[in-house]
Amino acid sequence: MSVLKKKRHVSKKNKKDWRKHCDIKDVEDFLEDQRLEERLGKFDAKPDSELFVVDTEGADRVEDVKTEIAISVKPRSAKERKRQNIQEIPKCYEILLPTSKVQDPNAKRNILNPVGFKPTALSKITEKRRAQKGILEKKVEIARKNRKIALSKKKKLKQIRNTFDTDLWGATIPEAKGIPSSLCDEFVPPEAQLHNVLPERRLRPKPPPPKTVVTRAAVDVPHPGISYNPSFKEHQELLQDVVQHEQKMMKRQAHLRRVTTGMFKKVTQQEKENQWQEEMSVGLSKPHNPAQDSDPETDNEYKAVNPPVRNKKKDHKARRKQKEMLQEKERLKRLKVEKKKITDLYKLRQLQSSISKSELRQTEERLKREAKRSEASISALPALNAHKVPRKEPDFVDPQQLTGDLRKTTSTGNLLRDRYESLQRRGALAAAKLMMKKKKRVKSYFKAGHKVTDQDVERFLTRRKATK
Amino acid sequence: MVSKKKKKYTSGEGVQFMTRKAALKKLQLSLKDFRRICILKGIYPREPRNRKRAQKGAGGIKTLYHTKDIKFLLHEPILWKLRELKVYQQKIRRARAMKEYPKMRKYLRDYPDINIDHIVKERYPTFVDALRDLDDCLTLCFLFSTFPSLKRVPRDQSVLCRRLTVEFMHAIIAAKALRKVFVSVKGYYYQVELEGQTITWIVPHHFSFQPQSKDEVDFKIMSTFVEFYTMMLGFVNFKLYHSLNLVYPPMLTATFSSDDKELVDEQAYVAERIAAMNISIARLAGANDIEELPEMDLFQAEGEDPQKLEEAKQEAEKVKKLKTMFKGLKFYINREVPREPLVFIIRCFGGEVSWDKDHFVGATFDESDESIAYHIVDRPSMEKQYLSRYYVQPQWVFDSVNARTLLPINKYLMGAVLPPHLSPFVDKTRDQVYKPPEERELNDPDFKPLNRDDSGSDIEEASDEDEEENEEESDPDIDPEKALTKQYQEEVDEDSPSEDDDNNDSDSEKKQLAKEKKKAMAVTTGVPHKEHPYQKEIEDKQAFRLREKLVQKKYQKLYKSMKAGQEKRKKEIWLLRKKRRLHDEKLKAEKKAEKKQQKLQAFQEATA
């Protein structure tokens, strides 16, 4: 009983419902066909030779041919067969082979290294043996050679830096100034030439260096007294310089001591303790001392240390009196000022002269100060930093050192430090306080079980004796 | 409308300066790199006029830089290199931390260099500028050439310094430019004159390397300075060699290349260096000797002092003489004498040098060579002496250079107590100081207490010297003035009698007068005008006094005090000379008496 199924009405409102109740079989079939075609190739496109075979022999001859071939071909040995089988892909893996004719879109997916790529344990050993013999792979040898060449090239390049082979100041031709050669023509105006100079070759204005750097001599004129064989007078002068310098320093030291440590009073330990006790017991009631009980007549009446203050109001009279007093004071003050004004009128000339005198004195002093300051600024040490530049100290030559013999001269002082300080004094370097890196303090200790004490040693010795 | 209020520190000194921190931020550099580039480019911290304003109101003392300086740095192509290097350093640091030492070593080996030669040109636009700044450069290079490899100094730096300094010395030898030498306890001071620039530098004594304590000098900074200075010295050398028609680089011994791996001991190093100095270097093919400078032309410009011109001419002549002082003389340096300075000096003035060939390399002739003129010795006596040569102490060479002539050797002979080695760097303008005759003799070769050298006995010598002294003293100071006044007096006297006659005589002698007039009217033979030298001097003096009067009022006090000071110093000198004279006379008398007594004694002994 085949009854035509009644078409049921279903809702296809949502995507889900749409999918559920839509018949897409024909589409899927088509796609399946297409995929199959892709895989196996299109049926129409295939040549006939691939689709059809021309049967030239009868059905019965087929077996004969097989036997004939078997006869004509030399029978293989078992070993050969095995080898051939190795080359063939084993049956079990055939399933892993792609059946599809579609090319792998990601060709790089599986790179299989050929056999012998990875060194085996055996090959490693042989390689090592060869390397010991000095036989190297050609690849390695070439690489080595190339590396050597590259290194020598690099070295040469570095040394070129130390071969000075250009006359920096010789060429005043415009090309040396970075002007491109195409513009080196007398018809090209200099503005245009300079405009085309590359930015990195352009000479840029730079403010002049500080005055101290330019004017101060790099190598000071030596004091004649530091000669290895000085005349007596010059050496004495040098010593005098040193003495004066030292005295100045001592004076300064003394001053500093006076204004710092000397400012504080020295107190003995006992005094310090007493002071402490006194300070700490301020406000505390003192212990009862019967000797100090000087008021025997007070009759044990209570008396507060700080009696209560009463807010006593002033009466009218007192207020008036106070007011009057203030007014009187004010009046007198004014009177005095008025009086002074009148007397000052007569003092005008005197005032004027005193003012002019003081102004004169001030200008004089100012001039003096300026002169002094300008004089000091000529040799002043530059303040470029919070640190101070060390002042130049006169060279001291010990009279004992002077032998008057070139062979026996011993040098004093440190030339490098002189240079360093001279740079600082000229303002080419900011003064600095050299901070040394602190060494890390490493605490050494024995691991608990590894400590060897005297007892251990003794025990070891006794045991050793016992075994002997 | 109210105008917008101006913010503080937006103009003037507030924007002129920049703190170091701000500069670092602007340049995007680390402090290390900033320091380096500042030294290379010659940018120095500044001292502002008003620090508070320059620091934008902040207290304390900060290191300030000129804003324009920093902007100038901003365009430096090296800046990019430094930033690249930063990455490279990070790689090295990482390799070290990961303990990938071969990688680290490779990085260190291939560490890129920074080329800074364009900076040399930029900082010194002309060659003379570079020469002017050579003092510091040479001192540092000579100092670093004595250093072994130190921790913060690149390894090849000291070798490079060594090479460049020797090359420079060769250039000086070829140019004959050395002028002054001073041996101090610190080292040797040399002064050369190149292209009109005087360059002074110090070379340390050669002792074994003195260890530098770390807390005194920042080696990193000094090595950066040296890095720039070597570059500069290299180019200066190149230029010098070319101007002297020499081949650069000169073929010196092999010790100056940095790729030398073999360990040579210090002594051998020094010996090689000195040997290198004794080689004469190759000249350019076809080039003559250095063309002699033409004679100085003397133009008497308006208002210029003829005396000064004369002085300049004399100076030039002296220098010319100095240049060939040792020409054709052969020197032999004994073993104990420090060879380096002596070889340099002697070769500078055309001498030939050699030394013991058994001990040091590079000897050019043997000790037994009969043509050796001077044998330099620094020991009290020698066993084997040649008659054909003088045995002198090394100081003779130094003093001769400073005196600009070959000094008489008698005071410098072997074992003699040397006269003091005086500094040639004293200010010659301060001549108003008492100088003992010995010093005057040293400084001025023309000044000679004549019989000092050739007289046989001491006594005679002393007496002669004294006489000389007396003459010397009286001559320049007192005599001319006296003579002048005398002359003046005479002239006045000459003039006066005629005038007196005219006044005294009465009219009665009018006839005589008329006669005289007639006589005067008669034509006489011409007499050439004779210029009176003294008259001229007197006139000059008068003119000078007139000029003195013209000194501005505000300078009059200063002038007077100056004159008074001169007078005072003159008097002091005179006094000291007198003292010296008296002292010498006394000595002489004592010696004479002593000798007389000795003679008497001898006579008595003989007779007895």
- B391: β partners: B375
In a domain, B186, yes or no: yes
Distance, in Å, from the CA atom of B470 to the CA atom of B581, rounded to the nearest integer, reads 7
Instruction: State how many domains chain B has.
Output: 4
Return the pLDDT at A333.
97
- A319: β partners: none
Distance, in Å, from the CA atom of A4 to the CA atom of A238, rounded to the nearest integer, reads 136
Picking from A163, A207, A395, the nearest residue to B249 by CB comes out as: A163
- What 8-state DSSP symbol labels residue B148? -
Return the pLDDT at B443.
65
Return the pLDDT at B459.
39
First-to-final CA distance of chain B: 128
In a domain, B49, yes or no: yes
First-to-final CA distance of chain A: 115
Distance, in Å, from the CA atom of A36 to the CA atom of A47, rounded to the nearest integer, reads 17
Asked if the C-beta of A385 comes within 8 angstroms of chain B's C-beta atoms, the answer is yes
Residue position matching structure tokens 């107590």 = B417
Same domain, B439 and B575: yes
A155 CB neighbours in chain B (<8 A) are: 259
Least Cα separation, residue A420 to chain B (angstroms): 7
Give the residue from B53, B76, B109 where a domain finishes.
B109
Distance, in Å, from the CA atom of A241 to the CA atom of A222, rounded to the nearest integer, reads 13
In a domain, B125, yes or no: yes
Q: What is the CA B445 to chain-centroid distance, rounded?
A: 18
Picking from A205, A222, A430, the nearest residue to B423 by CB comes out as: A222
> Cβ–Cβ of B217/A420 closer than 8 Å?
yes
| CA neighbor of B122 nearest in space, from B178, B73, B64, B60 | B73
Distance, in Å, from the CA atom of A441 to the CA atom of A285, rounded to the nearest integer, reads 55
Least Cα separation, residue A145 to chain B (angstroms): 17
Helix axes A415-426, B219-243, angle to 10 degrees: 90
**More reliable by pLDDT, A377 or B442:** A377
Return the pLDDT at B450.
41
In a domain, B588, yes or no: yes
Task: For residue B147, give its domain range.
Answer: 117-206+219-276
Same domain, B579 and B431: yes
A207 CB neighbours in chain B (<8 A) are: 66, 68-69, 72
CA distances to A125, A136, A137, A239, B74 from A131, rounded to whole Å, are 10, 6, 9, 74, 55
Same domain, B588 and B440: yes
Distance, in Å, from the CA atom of B239 to the CA atom of A165, rounded to the nearest integer, reads 9
- Contact at 8 Å (CB) between B245 and B283? yes
Q: Beta strands of B438-550 (E only): which ranges? A: none
Judged by DSSP in three states, B332 sits in strand
A229 CB neighbours in chain B (<8 A) are: 183, 395, 418, 420-421
Return the pLDDT at B460.
40
| CA neighbor of A432 nearest in space, from A366, A388, A393 | A388
B69 CB neighbours in chain A (<8 A) are: 206-207
CB pairs under 8 A between A and B: 221
Return the pLDDT at B346.
92
Report the residue of chain A nearest B122, measured CA to CA: A203
Same domain, B249 and B268: yes
- Contact at 8 Å (CB) between B365 and B354? yes
Least Cα separation, residue A360 to chain B (angstroms): 18
| Strand order from edge to edge, sheet including B374-376 | B352-355, B330-333, B374-376, B390-392
A412 CB neighbours in chain B (<8 A) are: 185-186
- What 8-state DSSP symbol labels residue B179? E
In a domain, B475, yes or no: no
Picking from A204, A227, A233, the nearest residue to B183 by CB comes out as: A227
DSSP B380-410: S--SS--TTSEEE-THHHHHHHHHTS---GG
- Contact at 8 Å (CB) between B18 and B74? no
- B413: β partners: B392
Return the pLDDT at B26.
95
Query: pTM of the predicted model, to two decimals?
Result: 0.67
pLDDT in tens, A406-446: 888 877 778 899 999 999 999 999 998 887 777 888 888 88
Asked if the C-beta of A390 comes within 8 angstroms of chain B's C-beta atoms, the answer is no
Distance, in Å, from the CA atom of A410 to the CA atom of A403, rounded to the nearest integer, reads 9
Q: What is the largest CA-CA distance in chain A?
A: 167
Buried/exposed B365-393: b ≥16 CB within 10 Å, e otherwise: eebeeeebbbbbbbeeeeeeeeeebbbbb
Instruction: Look up the ipTM and state it.
Output: 0.75
pLDDT in tens, A101-118: 777 788 777 777 877 778
pLDDT in tens, A142-163: 999 999 998 888 887 776 667 7
Distance, in Å, from the CA atom of B496 to the CA atom of B478, rounded to the nearest integer, reads 27
- B390: β partners: B374
In a domain, B299, yes or no: no
Distance, in Å, from the CA atom of B539 to the CA atom of A358, rounded to the nearest integer, reads 49
Helix axes A348-379, A316-346, angle to 10 degrees: 80
CA distances to A214, A397, B132, B214, B410 from B129, rounded to whole Å, are 11, 36, 5, 34, 44
A432 CB neighbours in chain B (<8 A) are: 218
Percent of chain A scoring above 90 in pLDDT = 33
Same domain, B453 and B582: yes
In a domain, B298, yes or no: no
What contacts B278, CB < 8 A, 6 or more positions away?
B343, B347, B353, B354, B362, B364
Same domain, B132 and B271: yes
Same domain, B33 and B161: no
Lowest mean pLDDT among A122-136, A283-297, B344-358, B423-437: A283-297
CA distances to A80, A90, A95, A112, A119 from A86, rounded to whole Å, are 10, 8, 17, 18, 22
Distance, in Å, from the CA atom of B350 to the CA atom of B328, rounded to the nearest integer, reads 7
Distance, in Å, from the CA atom of A409 to the CA atom of A411, rounded to the nearest integer, reads 6
In a domain, B522, yes or no: no
Same domain, B403 and B327: yes
| Interstrand relation of B187-194 and B17-19 (parallel, antiparallel or unpaired) | unpaired
Same domain, B102 and B122: no
Return the pLDDT at B229.
95
pLDDT in tens, A53-98: 888 877 665 555 555 555 556 677 888 887 777 777 778 888 888 7
Same domain, B82 and B137: no
Distance, in Å, from the CA atom of B574 to the CA atom of B597, rounded to the nearest integer, reads 34
Return the pLDDT at B41.
93
Picking from A227, A386, A434, the nearest residue to B215 by CB comes out as: A434
Least Cα separation, residue B595 to chain A (angstroms): 29
On the question of a cis peptide bond just before residue B249, with omega within 30 degrees of 0, the verdict is: yes
> Cβ–Cβ of A204/B63 closer than 8 Å?
no
- What 8-state DSSP symbol labels residue B265? -
- Contact at 8 Å (CB) between B138 and B168? yes
The stretches in chain B having pLDDT less than 70 are 1, 207-210, 253-267, 281-306, 428-431, 442-506
Tokens of A327: 């007014």
Same domain, B22 and B81: yes
Return the pLDDT at B283.
65
